[in-house]
Amino acid sequence: MANVPVHEWTLLEAARRVREKEISSRELTAAILARIEALDPKVRAYVTVLPEAAAAQAAACDEEQAKGTLRGPFHGVPIGLKDIFCTRGVRTTCGSRILRDFLPPYDACVAERVLAAGAVLPGKQNMDEFAMGSSTETSFFGPTRNPWDLSRIPGGSSGGTAAAVAAAMCFAGVGTDTGGSIRQPASLCGVVGVKPTYGRVSRYGMIAFASSLDQGGPIARSVADAAALLGVIAGYDRRDSTSLDLPVPDYLAAVERPVKGLRVGLPKEYFDGDGLSPEVRTAVEKALKALTDQGAAVVEVSLPHTSFALSTYYLIAPAEASSNLARYDGVRYGHRAEGASGLIEMMSRTRAEGFGDEVKRRIMIGTYALSAGYYDAFYGKAQKVRTLIRGDFTKAFEEADVLLTPTTPTPAFRLGEKTGDPLTMYLSDIYTIPCNLAGIPGISVPCGFSADGLPIGAQLLSKPFGEETLFSAAGAIERALPLRRVAPLEG
């Protein structure tokens, strides 16, 4: 570890070195800010960089530590946030023109907890507009690029966070996952991403896309880092009515647990399709071998309603989005069109100017699905299918402790390759969406590289509140397949 550059330290290693006064928070933060200054013009992972505020936070951490006070487990360590979490006095754009200049008067629960743990905030990270996208190409602020190959996408919608972590422009970050928006970019950028059980992480102050599906979670360069960060952000919050009042386990301790006897289920529907890249299949098979070599058992399971998941998601998510985004009307906050002759024209022009094409597309789909005469035929039926999908997982977890699947069908594709065909783009999330519909937790862990040097991830799923099992299995894969986690990108 002595020869590893500062910016490549893991989150836990950086925190330990600050705690033991091997390095100051000022020095650590300066290294990350220098990295951002050198690389972000190429990667564009950040919407807003906060050099002065971060330096001030770091200085305050050093002064407190000199007096014998440590704020928490990440005292003085830079951790990024997706620009979907409200941060007091720091603009929060959600990747949209309509919130381009929005300054929240309060912190999201996730932001509160990360900062209370002592973290320094280096900036807010890029994302697809209102988290609608699989490539971070729909951001009003321009696309983020994959640090492993700048001609390719980083995944989405948390692509800025995943790219920042992979390019070592922060030690970890927090993203959100509505249909795979943490796991898919984590897979394509070669890092670890966790979508917790729905209700495990508070959504207070997290700008809503689809309320019954959205969930915040960590993106990090190791399984242990992700476990430690989830331990900080998880837990009950009375301000979120969907937050669950349950104890938070010691996720970090679970990472080292042996997997001997663990039952690993392989859903046959995830491996039968023609769209699965042979390179991805081979890499996931290596992850499976890593588990069986350590004593895990393999069972075949079936999730028979998997083929309906994508269409179900693209009825439920747009329906909820059309309702959530109705608040952006130019009246209360955000962008307002100028020169309108009346209220209706002002609202119409505000929304036409403020939203991008993908957001408009989903608002129209959702509004149609909820409209009189079509509600039962579309939205109501989608909710019934969602129940069937959840039932598939319940039955599968009677036979298996975790399910192992690919995270994405292919490695990262090129920028612009799928922007003209939204339906093809939607297929990028075909393996991640069922997890959100069922409300269960999932993790993506690196398991190999393509012939072009692009990262590939394996997805593990477990029953509700089975995050400890996920961390044990992912830790076992990580130990057996020690892969490079920082992209070879120089400033």
* Residues with a known catalytic role: 82, 157, 181
Whether the Cβ atoms of residue 175 and residue 154 lie closer than 8 Å to each other: no
Q: Which of 73, 60, 126, 65 is nearest to 96 (CA)?
A: 126
CB 416 within 8 A of CB 151: no
Nearest to 473 by CA among 256, 197, 251: 256
Output the CA–CA distances (angstroms, integers) from residue 45 to 119, 165, 308, 444, in the order listed. 19, 9, 33, 20
SS3 89: coil
H or E stretch covering 359: helix 357-370
Pairing of strands 297-301, 263-267: parallel
Pick from 65, 67, 80, 79: which is nearest to 19 by CA?
65
Compute CA 409 distance to the chain's CA centroid, rounded to the nearest angstrom: 18
User: Can you state the angle between helices 51-66 and 25-43, rounded to 10 degrees?
Assistant: 160
Structure tokens that stand for 135 in this block: 């490539």
Burial 445-460 (b: 16+ CB within 10 A, else e): bbbbbbeeebbbbbbb
Closest by CA to 100, choosing from 148, 139, 145, is: 139
| Nearest Cα to Cα of residue 298 among 339, 259, 243 | 259
Residue closest to 294 by CA, chosen among 260, 318, 333, 262: 260
- Is residue 198 within 8 A of residue 178, CB to CB? The reply is no
Residue 388's H or E segment, with its range, is helix 381-396
* Residue appearing with tokens 């962008």: 335
The two three-digit tokens of residue 437, written as one number? 């519909």
Who's near 398: CB < 8 A, 6+ residues apart? none
Q: Residue 279: count other Cβ atoms within 10 Å of its Cβ.
A: 17
* End-to-end C-alpha distance for the chain, whole angstroms: 22
Are residues 283 and 409 in contact, defined by beta-carbon separation less than 8 angstroms?
no
- Identify the DSSP state of 145: -
